[in-house]
C-alpha cells in the first residue's frame, strides 16, 4: 500500500481550516532550475491568514492561488475564484507533497514583525 510521507496533518480539509498560530514560511526548491516530474514549478507559502501557491508549468502564465483561512475564499491572480479553483489549489499542493524530496527543498521562515 502506498503511504504518502508528506500527507497533510489531519487531512487536507483540516489543514486548510487550521486556526493555530503558524510561523510564516515559504517552501521551494533549493535549485531554481529544478522542477516537478511534469515540468511545473510550485512555491508554497503560508501564515496565519493565508496559504499561497505559486504555480507555473513550462512557459505558461504563472498562477497565484491564495486561500484566505478566515473566509475560506480563494483568489487566482487577484481575481475571486470558485469551488473548482479551490479544488485545483488543493490538487497542486498535494501534487507538490507527493513529488518532492526533502533534500531538494528549502523552508524559509519569516519574521512576524
Using one digit for the tens of pLDDT, what is the confidence trace for 48-105? Answer: 999 999 999 988 899 999 999 999 999 999 999 999 999 999 999 999 999 988 899 9
> In which residue are the cell numbers 479553483 written?
85
The mean pLDDT value for 23-43 works out to 93
Query: Do the beta carbons of residue 105 and residue 96 sit within 8 Å?
Result: no
**What DSSP letter does each residue of 7-64 carry, written as one string?**
PPTT-HHHHHH--S----EEEEESSTT---TTSEEEEEEE-SSEEEEEEEETTSPPEE
Alpha helices, DSSP H, located in the chain: 12-17, 83-99
Given pLDDT bands bounded at 50, 70 and 90, which one contains residue 111?
A: confident
Per DSSP, 61 falls in state: P
Residues 6+ positions from 60 with CB-CB distance below 8 Å: none
Q: Tell me: pLDDT of 1 over 80.
A: no
With respect to residue 12, please indicate whether it lies within any of the assigned structural domains: no
With respect to residue 36, please indicate whether it lies within any of the assigned structural domains: yes
With respect to residue 58, please indicate whether it lies within any of the assigned structural domains: yes
With respect to residue 34, please indicate whether it lies within any of the assigned structural domains: yes
Q: Locate 85 and state its grid cell.
A: 479553483
Q: Tell me: pLDDT of 39 over 50.
A: yes
Number of domains into which the chain is organized: 1
Full domain range(s) for residue 104: 20-109
With respect to residue 59, please indicate whether it lies within any of the assigned structural domains: yes
Query: Do the beta carbons of residue 20 and residue 29 sit within 8 Å?
Result: no
With respect to residue 6, please indicate whether it lies within any of the assigned structural domains: no
Q: What is the pLDDT of residue 16?
A: 52
More confident residue, 22 or 28: 28
With respect to residue 96, please indicate whether it lies within any of the assigned structural domains: yes
Cα separation, 23 vs 20, whole angstroms:
10
Q: What is the pLDDT of residue 24?
A: 93
Predicted TM-score (pTM) of this structure: 0.79
With respect to residue 1, please indicate whether it lies within any of the assigned structural domains: no
Amino acid at each position: 500500500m502506498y503511504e504518502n510521507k508528506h500527507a497533510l496533518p489531519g487531512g487536507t480539509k483540516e489543514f486548510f481550516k487550521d486556526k493555530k498560530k503558524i510561523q510564516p514560511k515559504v517552501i521551494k526548491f533549493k535549485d531554481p532550475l529544478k522542477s516537478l516530474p511534469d515540468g511545473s514549478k510550485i512555491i508554497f507559502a503560508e501564515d496565519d491568514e493565508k496559504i499561497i501557491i505559486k504555480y507555473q508549468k513550462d512557459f505558461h502564465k504563472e498562477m497565484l492561488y491564495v486561500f484566505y483561512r478566515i473566509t475560506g475564499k480563494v483568489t487566482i491572480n487577484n481575481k475571486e475564484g470558485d469551488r473548482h479553483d479551490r479544488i485545483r489549489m488543493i490538487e497542486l499542493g498535494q501534487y507538490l507533497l507527493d513529488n518532492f524530496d526533502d533534500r531538494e527543498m528549502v523552508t524559509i521562515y519569516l519574521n512576524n514583525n
